[in-house]
Amino acid sequence: MAQTAISSSQEDYLEAISEIIEKNGHAHTKDVATALDVSMPSVSAALQQLAARGLVRYQKHQPVTLTEYGEELAQQVRRRHSIMLKFFQDILMLPAKDANETACELEHTLDDTCLNRFAFLAKEIQTRDDCQALRANLQEQMPTIKVKKEAPVIPLNYLPIGQQGIVVAINESLACLQKFADMGIVHGMTVTMESHAPFGDLLRIRLLESSLSIRGEDASGIWVRLVQ
Amino acid sequence: MSTCCQDKSQSPALPANLRIALAGNPNCGKTTIFNALTGSHQHVGNYSGVTVEHKSGQADFCGHNVEVVDLPGIYSLSSSSPEERVAADELLHTHVDLILNIIDSSNLQRNLYLTTQLTELNIPMLLVFNMADEAREKGFVFNFPMLERFLGHPIIETVGNNPSSLEAMKEKAIDIIAHLDTRVPPPHIQYDEHLDAAIADLEARIATRDLKHDEHISNRYFAIKLLEGDPHATAMPAIADLLPLSQKYREQLAASHGVNSETLMADARYGLIAGACREAITLRVMHRREISDKIDAIVTNKFLGLPIFLLLMFLVFVFTFTCGKPLIAILEFVFHQLSVAISTHWPAGRAEFVRDLICEGIIGGVGGVLVFLPNILLLFLAIAFLEGTGYMARAAFIMDGFMHRFSLHGKSFIPLVLGFGCTVPAVLATRIIESRRDRLTTIMVLPMMSCGARLPIYALLIPIFFPEKYQALILWYIYLAGVIIALFAAKLLKNTLFKGENEVFVMELPPYRIPTVGSLALHVWERCLMYLKKAGTFILGASIIMFFCNTFPRKTSDFTRDYEAEISILEAQADLAPEAKAFQIAELKAERQAEISAATITGRLGHWLEPVFRPLGFDWRVDSALIGAIAGKELFVSQLGILYASDDNGDGTDTLKEKLRANYTPLQSLSIMIFCLLTIPCVGTMAVVRRETRSVLLTIGQAAGLFIVAWILAFAVYQIGLFLGLGTHLLS
């Protein structure tokens, strides 16, 4: 990605290691695993790859350290992250969590020219006198621009137990299409997932005040929108 | 309490043979109402060609005699299952004066789906909001006038086991029929503008067609059926040319509504019902978590579900077989006494053959039929109870995962477990499986579950040939072998003979209810009567035939020894102790009997078939015993006893044991047991299999198939054992 030709995931590792070392003085593999929310084996594998590329020094049961080049790359990633973060927070006025998440994703995709221009744009808006009115307007209007997140649409067999979903689409080629329709599984119907059978494929769902049991295989052809 | 139509003279004269049909979903209490209306005046049969039951009976509606037909429980009239086809057929092609649409009030929306279809038939209808007490408890409040306007039919509330509410229902029904002339046909259900326009257009075009014998059915019905893509309607030649037009409408409407064209009408119906219910029903009380759900949290629990199910199966098993034992003992005692009474009072020397025919053939045969009855009665009671409470659906829910691997339905588990007790009631229990292919497969492999009648065979042979430390193990292996072979045979059958698309699995899990005692009793009574009528005649006939085979030809002379003379000599001997004398005389008599048996048809057949069974390690005596065992597996031991001239009292089997040990090897005994495990079931089983499968071909096919499997496996066991030199000598 970008100029460095290492993967986004590897960039994330470098970023995390650098941050942890800055905070704690040293970075244990456990800390890295926690920070990135991955399993220990995954961390070991990733660190070995990074070590092979000369970006980290890694020995089992020892804290991991960054090589000089590794540190350099890490700083680049962190810089990109902080530029985007600042832009999202200060200009777009996104809440901190959303800003951080989006920044984490974009930091791998945008190239440095683009980033520098973002940074410049942000700086100009924040500092120039003739942008005073603009700043005031943005301050007022930005937070009001919201789009309600539509609930995800998932196959019925993925509906968590206890959750409700509204049927939005049914696979036409299902053999049991007519039978399902007769029983009430039609567009717009609210379905609740009650339980799974102890063995095998059966699901128990509730609709229209009674419980039905259908095969998970068939349920995968019914798409429902989660009800929040 | 109101009494029905107190002043009969006021009601106008009604046509003589009134016919009322009960239609509704499964689990809506229809059967309870039917039983309450008709009581014991009901008749259960079959619709021709399918295994759907036809139930009808006579009832008294305010002094009028009415024929009530209980249609099968259905969710829709879309002819996607035999029940639906049969119900639609009945309503369209036989004369029905009134439909009582039984509705579960607490489950209104799904029940009304059928209602919207029934209204299209244009038959007078009364909507019966059943289980009104439950609905009220849950807090439902109905605006009946609004619902009546919406649906176009009068509504009455009932509680299935409350007689006075049923009386009110009967009054209302008669009232409707009496005022048919003045009846304003209800307005059609309005869907939405475009759909109604399409229906109207198709309706108008159909009106110009000649529908021949379907003329009495409204054109609107066919118009809607075309829009549904109903296979029956689309196949009618008279309206075949309208198919492209209806298809165009379907696609247009589907596109504009954003739904699939196949389920266009279903969407429209449910949409309409949802709207109506939103306006006409209010829920006053917040839904508390129902008791049913609490029970299910335990019963279908990931960890507890299976153990609870196995426990209940065990209880059913115990109930059916253990509780039935005393009843069976009583029956056997009665028949035995009857037989004894007849033979003692029979004038000696006169037509002894007839006496024997009556005692052994007929009484033995009838006894053989009735001896199953206690088990069947108790089994049906247990199953009716489980089904009535709603547990049966949960059982299928739990076991389906396991059974599915062998291409069987979850409900197959129950008959298979019952097969360990007795195959006859187990075959009858397969009725709980709706899918025909699954049911047939289960029936075909049931005899391989080692039934109780085979236990005497194992109990005899295993202790003789196997040392104590192996005995339980061998028994366990035999049972296990039966189960494994049965499961794989089922998978094979499902993939070959009974191959087909996997039936659609949609099963309702109704709330738990307590079935009424009356319903249970009626249900069980009906079943037992059916069994007696159909299976009974077959078993009786077969028993008489077996009697002949076991008796004739009668050897009265040409014995190898002059038994009469020897017995006289013994009796005259004064210096012999009475016990020793009696013992030796008994021995001589038994030898004589052995020779007589060998000369009968059964005995001769045994000799004749010897080449067939020699590769399995059997000799003619075993073959004869096997033939006798066709009447009932438990007869194997007694036949063998007779042929080895050991008397068949309890202690006499010691001599039999010695004789068997002397004549056979452990390997042969294993081969015998495996053959008995798998071979042709007894006539009782064949009779019920013929009844349940309605196919002589399948019954014979099963017998032949089992025989072949048994032969091959016994052959394999024996020959491999010989080859490896295993079991040819008694193990120490």
Where is average pLDDT lowest: A96-105, A182-191, B232-241? B232-241
Whether B524 is in a domain gets the answer: yes
Percent of residues in chain A assigned helix, strand, coil, to nearest 5? 50, 20, 30
Per the CB < 8 Å rule, is B267 touching A204? no
Cis omega (within 30 of 0) on the bond before B578?
no
Distance to chain A for B394, nearest Cα, Å: 9
B235, B250, B283 — which closes off a domain?
A: B283
The CATH number of whichever domain residue B207 belongs to comes to 1.10.287.1770
Q: Is B290 a member of any domain?
A: no
- What's the pLDDT at B536? 67
Q: Does the model's pTM come out above 0.80?
A: no
Chain A residues inside the 8 Å CB shell of B506: 176, 179-180, 183, 212-214
CB contact under 8 A, B263 and A178: yes
> Which residues form the domain of B408?
305-453
Q: Is B252 on the interface with A (CB under 8 A)?
A: no
**CATH number reported for the structural domain that contains residue B112 in this entry:** 3.40.50.300
**Within this chain, do residues B435 and B567 fall inside the same structural domain, yes or no?**
no
Residue of A nearest to B511 (CA): A210
Minimum Cα–Cα distance from B80: chain A residue:
A179
Residues 6+ apart with CB under 8 A from A207: A184, A185, A189, A190, A191, A192
Instruction: Decide if B397 touches A, using CB distance below 8 A.
Output: yes
Tell me how far apart the alpha carbons of residues B312 and B306 are, in angstroms, rounded to a whole number: 10
Q: Residue B411 to residues B317, B435, B443, B716: CA-CA distances in angstroms?
A: 16, 10, 12, 33
Q: Which residues of chain A make contact with B501, given a CB cutoff of 8 A?
A: 175
Any domain includes B360: yes
B381 contact partners, CB below 8 Å, separation of at least 6: B520, B524
Mutate to test the interface with A, among B83, B509, B513 (most CBs of A within 10 A): B509
Cβ pair B262:A197 closer than 8 A: no
For chain A, say whether B588 makes contact (Cβ under 8 Å). Answer: no
Shortest alpha-carbon distance between residue A123 and chain B (Å):
49
Q: Does B512 touch chain A (CB under 8 A)?
A: no
Q: Are residues B554 and B694 in the same domain?
A: yes
User: How many whole angstroms separate alpha carbon B727 and alpha carbon B551?
Assistant: 36
> Using CA atoms, how far apart are residues A185 and A227, in angstroms rounded to an integer?
16
What residues are paired with A167 via a beta bridge? A224
Query: Do β-strands B53-61 and B42-46 pair in parallel, antiparallel, or remain unpaired?
Result: antiparallel
Contact A201 B76 (CB under 8 A): no
Same domain, yes or no: B212 and B166 = no
| B78 closest CB neighbour out of A178, A204, A210 | A178
Calculate how close chain B gets to A207, using CA atoms only, in Å: 9
| B309 contact A CB<8A | no
Average pLDDT over residues A134-156: 87
Q: Which domains occur in chain A, in start order?
A: 1-146 (1.10.10.10), 153-226 (2.30.30.90)
B544 and B596 fall within a common domain = yes
Q: Within an 8 Å CB–CB cutoff, is residue A179 touching chain B? A: yes
Give CA–CA dist B482/B450, Å, rounded. Answer: 6
Q: What residues of chain A lie within 8 A of the CB of B258, using their CB?
A: 187
Contact between chains at A186 and B511 (C-beta distance less than 8 A): no
Q: Which residues does chain B have within 8 Å of residue A183's beta carbon, measured at their own beta carbons?
A: 75, 110, 506, 508
Considering only residues B595 and A85, tell me which one the structure prediction assigns the higher pLDDT.
A85
Same domain, B536 and B634: yes
| Best CA proximity match to B25, nearest among B126, B108, B102, B132 | B102
Q: Are residues B389 and B440 in the same domain?
A: yes
pLDDT of residue A27: 87
The pLDDT tens digits for B429-467 are: 887 777 788 889 999 999 998 887 787 788 778 888 888
**Residue B404 forms contact with A (CB below 8 Å):** yes
Do the Cβ atoms of B80 and A212 come within 8 Å?
A: no
Looking at beta carbons, which residues of chain A come within 8 Å of B259? 186-187
Q: Is B230:B79 a contact under the CB 8 Å cutoff?
A: yes
DSSP 8-state secondary structure symbol assigned to residue A150: P
Provide the β-strand partners of residue A192: A164, A206
| pLDDT top residue among A45 and B240 | A45
Q: How many CB atoms are located within 10 Å of the residue A95 CB?
A: 11
Report d(CA B8, CA B20) in Å as an integer. Answer: 20
Examine residue B289 and state whether it is found in any structural domain, yes or no.
no
B170 and B268 inside one domain: no
Q: Are B107 and A209 a contacting pair at CB < 8 A?
A: yes
A178 in contact with chain B, both atoms CB, cutoff 8 A: yes
pLDDT for B46 equals 63
Query: Based on the domain organization, do B640 and B612 belong to the same domain?
Result: yes
Contact A186 B109 (CB under 8 A): no
> Does some domain include residue B184?
no
Burial of B274-311, coded b for 16+ CB within 10 Å and e otherwise, reads: bebbeebbeeeeeeeeeebeebbeebbeeeebbebbee
Q: Please judge whether B107 and A210 are an interchain contact, meaning their C-beta atoms are less than 8 angstroms apart.
A: yes
Note whether B12 and B153 are same-domain residues: yes
Does residue B294 belong to the interface with chain A, where contact is any CB pair within 8 Å?
Answer: no
Is the pLDDT assigned to residue A126 strictly greater than 80?
A: yes
Residues in chain B with pLDDT < 50? 1-3, 9, 647-653, 732
> How far is B449 from B445, CA to CA, in rounded Å?
8
A75 has a pLDDT exceeding 60 = yes
State whether residue A186 sits within 8 Å of chain B by CB.
yes
Tally the domains of chain B.
4
Minimal Cα distance from A186: which residue of B?
B267
| Closest CB from B266, B303, B505 relative to A182 | B266
More confident site: B651 or A166: A166
CA–CA min distance B507, chain A (Å): 5
Residues B310 and B277 in one domain: no
Tell me whether residue B1 is in a domain: no
> What does the DSSP 8-state code read for residue B240?
G
Assigned domain for B78 exists: yes
Tell me whether A213 touches chain B (CB under 8 Å). yes
Q: What is the ipTM of this complex?
A: 0.75
| Residue A213 to residue B505, Cβ atoms within 8 A | yes
Q: What is the DSSP letter of B2?
A: P
Name the minimum distance, in Å, from the CA of B173 to any CA of chain A. 28
Å between A37 CA and nearest CA of chain B: 30
**Nearest residue in chain A measured CA to CA from B138:** A209
Nearest CA in chain B to A190: B274
Domain closes at, from B178, B201, B223: B178
- Give pLDDT, residue A203: 93
Same domain, B111 and B47: yes
pLDDT at B732: 47
Residues of A in contact with B507 (CB under 8 A): 212-214
Interchain pair B78, A198: CB under 8 A: no
Residues B596 and B622 in one domain: yes
Max Cα–Cα distance, chain B, nearest Å: 112
d(CA B170, CA B248): 45
- The set of residues, in sequence order, having a beta carbon less than 8 Å from that of B52 and lying 6+ positions away, is B46, B72, B82, B83, B86
Of the pLDDT bands very low, low, confident and very high (cuts 50, 70, 90), residue A158 is very high
Asked if the structure places residue B254 within a domain, the reply is yes
